[in-house]
Structure 1
Amino acid sequence: MKMNFSRVMRLIALRNRDQEAIVNVERNRRFTYEQYHLLTNRIADVLRSTLQIGKGDHFMLILENDNLSLMLFPTTFKQEGTVVMTNLRDPLEEHARQLDLVKPKVVFLETRLLDSYYDTLRSRGCAIVLMDPPFTEQAARPGVHCFWTLVEAASDLDNDVELDTDEHICVLRFTGGTTGKGKCAMYSIDNWMACRDAGFINTDLAISNATRLLHVSPLSHGTLMLFFPTLYAGGTNITMNQLDMERWRQEVEQERVTHSFLVPTVLYRLLEMQRAAPKDFSSLTTLIYGAAPMSPDKLGELVECFGQIFVQGYAATETPMFIAVLDKAAHQPGDAEALQHLSSAGRATPGVEVFIADQDGKPLPMGETGEIRIRCKAVIKGYFGNPQATADEFEDGAWKSGDLGYIDADGYLYIVDRLKDMIISGGFNVYAVEVEASLAAHPAVLMAAVVGIPHPEWGEAVHAEVVLRSGATVTEQELIAQAKNRLGSYKAPKSLIFVDELPTSVVGKVLRRQVKEKYWQGFARKIS
């Protein structure tokens, strides 16, 4: 099916003309729906007319949330090129690897990065568009353009671009790489429309024209899934660029934020901050979290502090929509059934096919653990420039998630672990997330990372690194004893150390791979 998204956005703008569409708090920019439509028309015209981006061409974004909000939907859908989204916080070396794979004609860049990125980009023939006004000497460099100068000279008229929603690859995006080098996922327009629809099908998300959603996690990653339904509903997408939780608290209060997306480790820090110095969070109706389950032992504290406003979403780069959702009713402290479900990822979004498969891809009965596989309209088109990975990870229309899990008799999906994060110790399978949950249940523990480390007898031994709450104390022996009581001796850590911090992604997800790597240096294999 072909669609003209200038017309689509024009109708949305007419419906919500004076409603705020975008608020960039750090740059103090506000755009109504009418202004946003005209601005994205201009940016699309810059891409097509000035920068000569056409069908099959790529342009790359190395940007903060404020600027990403201008370059995503509907800009991307109003022109024929393919946008390449990156993680701004990746090092130059990783961006260079990505550049060599996708070969963009143009790179949109934060101005402060020009000096360090210029030679790398120009040596690859890329034109550079700086998002904030450059210094005179920066602007004088060959191949450098100023974004707002280009935009002011462009046309804001609706265009005649029609794109095939199934076949056109509108976005390339790199996987998180928490277990290795990221791959380059290919997205159709229909993939993102499935993302939009999931926001409405899951009614507990309560997205409407009254929604004011604060994005603090990178828009290039998980929080983008909430951008689409909020915009289509006539709500307001509010952006922050840094994971500064004190600033986040201020913006929630001042902007009367209704929704936001955070990961559990950040929620636990937020809880401590709110207890120490409360802000007015009366506007907050929905706090969405993902990437890891919430600790059942901390749920009561969170609900007492914030109310029953929590929703868990399960998704992935390869399926950019909420595949499963654990609704607000399941976040009920003191309810034994709710606490059991709290360790799940929730129930599948209606219309999504989720099944558990054995090593040969055959479906397993309810309750048995295997690999989670997913079929839905959000499943990506494969990996750009990597047919082998595409063949390995997609089979018969399903994405093989690499997550181990099961579905119970009530339809709740439980994620036991990543296949690559399973520890085999003395012939027993130990799942890192299970051990981490047992440690996090202690009131002194803020967060933990559990990995397998080399052991001469067992192959791997269960090892934990633990961050304590500020001012709290507990001994290694006490935590190991607690894990033994909850899980049994063979699953409990055989060693444990206390650390000041754990390596985390930009959204606060603990990077087990980085914890594990230091213990396996000098070994040919990372498991035994």
Structure 2
Amino acid sequence: MTVMAPLSTELAATATHLRGTLLAERVDQEFRPPLMLTDGERVPHADTFSALGLSSLRLVDIEMALDEALGRRSGLTGLGGSGTVGDFLTHLRSEVLPDLFPDRLHHPGLQHVADTVAFHAVRSPDRPAIECEGRVVTYAALHRESNRAAHALLRAGIGPGSRVGYLGKESEYYYEALFACAKNGAVLVPVNWRLTGPEVDHILRDSGTELLLVEPEFVATLPKAGELPGLRLVVEIDPADPASYQTWKDGSAESDLPRCTGPDDAVAQLYTSGTTGLPKGVVLAHRSFFKIRDALAENGLDWIDWLSGDRSLIGIPGFHVGGLWWAMQGFNAGVTNVSMRMFTSADAVRLIRESGITTACVVPAMLRMMLAEPDLAADDFASLRKVVYGGSPISESLLRSSIEMLGCDLAQIYGLTETGNTSVCLPPHAHVPGSPLLKAAGRPYPGVGLRIVDETGAEVATGTTGEVLLHSPAAMLAYWGLTEATDATLVDGWVHTGDAGYVDADGYLFICDRIKDTVIVAGENVYPAEVENALCKHPAVADAAVVGVPHERWGEAVHAFVALRPGAEVTPRELMRSLKGHLADFKTPSTCEFVDGIPRNPSGKVLRRVLRERFWADRERRVG
């Protein structure tokens, strides 16, 4: 089945604001008096209104709801009996939506990351762009300092297409580096600071990073001098004492650089687990950070929106596409972004309360930890108006608790690094306790294609499970240096997600299982081959396989099956300790069991479904 989101759905923008009134006024009869098309058909047909649950409302009921929302007469029925669908939608767009959403922020002229900070430096120079640990950077200052950094990069021989690595926790300097690269034409390569030395080495080596910005506490994880011939310069940044970094920028001009890249050129390269077990560099263009925003605004949808006065919490780290994409949405809107150096649930709750956070993006594990914080007060989340969540599936119990305790709108997003982050959204109006839609990932954004195919690539019928394919204008350019892997994942513009799911009759996507073997631990991707290779290096291990198993807090945890060599002895604790320094902590198996052998098919492929079965047998969704 193929689903292409509609391009004219302005009515959906009123859903969040009007759903209570509309659903309360629902009646069991058709619209009266009807607006009529020129051929005599009724305007309010099912495909226009079914998503809002309006198909059985009278026109007068909609008018009354709009009148209440606007505080005046909407004039809807004044269109008369000869109005067309076009008249109806034009009226909503021109007369109703601007009054419903007067403070919504969208700047369609912004299509390049470099333009974002330059635009707001002129429009709102004194507005805080970033707040981090009490430090405040205005849009004017962020523009000025990223210009200086861009010139410093150029002076160091870094220009269009060069890779600039960043190894550090969240801070204003990470985003200064992002904007500097965008202005200079370089490509930012964020490195997960939780990785071990060998893992960092792979990313720097694979990307061809020429200049690395690094926080002092992570210098020890870097390869020795000379081991990476392409790495020409390492610049230390200490957010608490940035003197050495400022010295590196000394003498750099504050002027704008001439534009040397366009919306379809690379701006970031994020590493995600791949089929070889080694992370692959996903190359994203500037457009990846604007296309979904534009689709929502152009179609009047408030699934993810920005209002004047919003204060956004950046809780997901910027080395993840979810964190980087979310931060860019806040910058594009010109709001204040509150950055956490690293996420802790206590700090997140405190910042929401003390900083007046109105909107945030989190993974489900973060939600669970925040809601489990001791001594939560009734008003801790009072400032929130919308929380966006994604990165891994969410349990129904956690979703119910979030709806009840946060007291704000919720929106679920689904996508991959390869799709430029989100391609599907479960809008706020679908978050109704008890609704079967709470099990859905959502519907594609306008202009995003969704297909479900079988193992031969043929499309399947509605309700039939197959592989999820997505066609997004925000999708990646390629995997860096991996033509075959790119061609296998990005086929004729369609991203093969490796997720199994189905689409219902209303176009909602439901994720059932994972065709690819990736395990997602609290939003972090873990590829089994990498863990298995590390386990098999132990002299006592003959064979190993790992799978994702349900975990109440993290969504999934890594479970290892290990077959020992004849006569060999090792305890699970000793085996896990042997992985220290070779794997990041989140990749290390939480549990381990010894088995006689690892089940494999005739070609030698691990039968992970067999291994996973007993852990997931009583679960409706076989992903965490």
Task: Please give the TM-score of this superposition, normalised by the length of structure 1.
Answer: 0.75
Shift of 1:363: 1.8
Query: Aligned partners of 1:242 and 1:20: how far apart in 2?
Result: 20
1:79 to 166, 173, 184: 184
Q: Secondary structure at the match of 2:382?
A: coil
Q: In the alignment, does 2:212 pair up with 1:112? A: no
* Matched residue type, 2:487: A
Give the equivalent residue in structure 1 for 2:526.
Answer: none
1:280 shift after superposition: 2.6
In structure 2, what is the equivalent of residue 469 of structure 1?
Answer: none
Q: Which residue of 2 aligns with 1:149?
A: 247
Deviations 1:17-40 (A, max 9, x none): 221111112xx3211111111111
1:14 aligns with 2:122: yes
Partner of 2:499: 403
CA distance in 2, matches of 1:121, 1:208: 50
8 A Cα contact 1:107 1:127, kept in partner? yes
Secondary structure at the counterpart of residue 258 of structure 2: coil
SS at match of 1:318: helix
- For the residues of structure 1 that align with 2:276 and 2:147, how far apart are their CA atoms? 39
Quick one: distance in 2 between partners of 1:178 and 1:15?
Answer: 46
Q: Structure 2 unaligned segments of length 5 or more: list them.
A: 1-108, 520-546, 564-584, 599-603, 611-624
- The residue that corresponds to 1:59 in the other structure is 164
Partners of 2:269 and 2:557 in 1: CA distance: 32
1:398 deviates by: 0.8
Offset at residue 134 of structure 1 (A): 11
Which structure 2 residues correspond to residues 292-331 of structure 1 after superposition, within 5 A?
Answer: 292-331=392-431
Distance in structure 1 (CA, Å) of the matches to 2:397 and 2:515: 26
2:482 matched residue in structure 1: 386
Query: Larger relative CO (CA 8 A, sep 6+): 1 or 2?
Result: 2
SS of residue matched to 2:373: helix
Distance 1:313 1:253, change over 3 A: same
Distance 1:39 1:178 in 2: 39
Give the deviation of 1:324 after TM superposition. 0.9
Alignment check: 8 A CA contact 1:198 1:321 kept? no
1:447 and 1:384, CA in 2 relative to 1: closer, same or farther beyond 3 A? closer
**Correspondent of 1:217 among 311, 316, 321:** 316
Amino acid at match of 1:41: N
More strand by share: 1
5+ residue gaps, structure 1, are: 140-144, 424-431, 457-507
Check 1:292–1:147 CA distance in 2 against 1; reply closer, same or farther (3 A cut): same
AA matched with 2:335: G
Structure number with bigger Rg: 2
Shift of 1:370: 0.6
In structure 2, the residue matched to 1:252 is 352
Matched residues in 2 for 1:58 and 1:392: separation?
25
Are the equivalent residues in 1 in contact too, given 2:110–2:116 (CA < 8 A)? no
State the partner residue of 2:441.
Answer: 345
CA distance in 1 between partners of 2:421 and 2:272 (Å): 15
- Find the residue that maps to 1:218 and give its secondary structure: coil
- Deviation of the 1:157 alpha carbon: 0.8
Provide the C-alpha distance between the structure 2 equivalents of 1:98 and 1:322, rounded to a whole number of angstroms. Answer: 24
After the TM superposition, which of the residue ranges 115-124 and 85-94 deviates more from structure 2? 115-124
Return the TM-score normalized by structure 2.
Answer: 0.64
Shift of 1:95: 0.9
Report the Cα offset of residue 115 of structure 1.
4.0
- Does 2:271 align with 1:180? no
2:263 aligned with 1:160? no
Contact 1:258-1:283 within 8 A present in 2 as well: yes
Partner Cα distance (1:287, 1:4) in 2:
26
| CA 1:65–1:7: 2 relative to 1, 3 Å | closer
Aligned to 1:203: 302
Contact 1:63 1:109 in 2 (8 A): yes
> Partner amino acid for 1:151?
K
Q: CA deviation at 1:422?
A: 10
CA distance in 2, matches of 1:88, 1:112: 10
* CA separation of 1:186 and 1:283: change in aligned 2, threshold 3 A: same
User: 1:119 is matched by which residue type in structure 2?
Assistant: K
Deviations 1:338-360 (A, max 9, x none): 2x111111111111011111112
